A = this chain, B = another copy of it.
Amino acid sequence: MNRHDIALIGFGGVARALAETIRDRGEELTHELGFELRVVAITDLRLGSLMVADGIDLDAVLRMPAGETFAGKHGGTAAPQNDYVIRNTTADIVVEATFTNPIDGEPAVSHVRAALESGKSVTTTNKGPVALAGTELNRIAAENGVTFAYEGAVVSGTPVLRLAEKTLAGLQINAVRGILNGTSNYVLGQMELGMTLEDAVAEAQALGYAEADPTADIEGSDVQLKVVILANELLGANLTTADVQRRGISEVTAADIVQAAAEGKRWKLVGSAFRNAAGGVTAGVEPVALPVGDPLAGVSGPTNAVSFDTDMLGTVTVSGPGAGRVETAFALLSDIIAINAARAADEAVAVGR
């Protein structure tokens, strides 16, 4: 039986949801997927580091009382020795699940680089390293014969990058447009019901959609990072955030909303990238009043969606959750399945040589 040993770098909600899935559905997944999953290392800012080569007792870790750390446990220390663990763990797959830094992507970029350089495949749902250092990190992965996978960096577990790779091959994708931020989409929906922007943001915060500082959601910088990823992955561009024009929803007024409704339109914060006449890619983030017939117009609340405009197939749209700890943990699982498939293919070829 094939097995993957996993290191979890960062043990917040999403990583914990993956650990719970492995604990609760491990045998079922092994049966379905044809490989076993075992967690052999965990690091976390608050908990410290834990390395157990023959497998961590996930149930014990998941039940640790608040305030307790890994210090004193077999294989544990109170310090989050991320770099040491990434380089020295027996894991073959590193799950990078620390926070998103929209400026330089650190420390996640360094974590991913260290893992790939030491011959480990990486999955992350962290936009930072993908949007800000994706080209470099993909090159390092290729040089080391490992996989860098990041389905969850765009729309949580909803398949977007893998959908394009696996189901749209053979098509030319000419443009991609998306509703890529659930908080701003929820806020616009509440404004349609007559709420002010400020009240709607406060409500989104109360519901857990919006961060304490909602600026990245409302002003479009979260979407901007995702547009960089979509443009580079799906249109073969090599954009940075500076190439993506950005305007947020704070400029949308109650009067705008009323007027759009009268015209049969709905305001949405749309991230887009398209092949331009000069042979390059133009990308941006802006609020747009979409006609109700647009496949993105009906996408409501915290749901996200991406439309692909293609040559043979016209427009194909996928919608699904844009956040959520279990939903995002599925993106990690989906990446692990892809990493397993890539390794199986490599091994078959290697044996054949």
Residues of A bordering B, CB below 8 Å: 21, 29, 32-33, 157-159, 162-163, 166-171, 292-293, 295, 297-298, 300-301, 303, 312-321, 324, 326-327, 329-330, 333-334, 337, 345, 348-349, 351-352
Contact = CB atoms under 8 A, between A and B. Distances in A.
The prevalent SS among residues of A at the interface is: mixed
A314 B320 CA distance: 8
A312 B329 contact: yes
Contacts of A170: 29, 32-33, 330, 333-334, 337
A163 B169 contact: no
Contacts of A314: 320-321, 324, 327
A219 B33 CA distance: 40
Contacts of A166: 162, 166-167
A263 B157 CA distance: 33
12 contacts: A21-B312, A32-B169, A157-B312, A162-B167, A163-B318, A167-B167, A171-B330, A295-B319, A298-B298, A345-B348, A348-B349, A351-B352
Contacts of A159: 163, 167-168, 316
Nearest to A310: B330
B345 A327 contact: no
Nearest to A297: B298
A243 B264 CA distance: 41
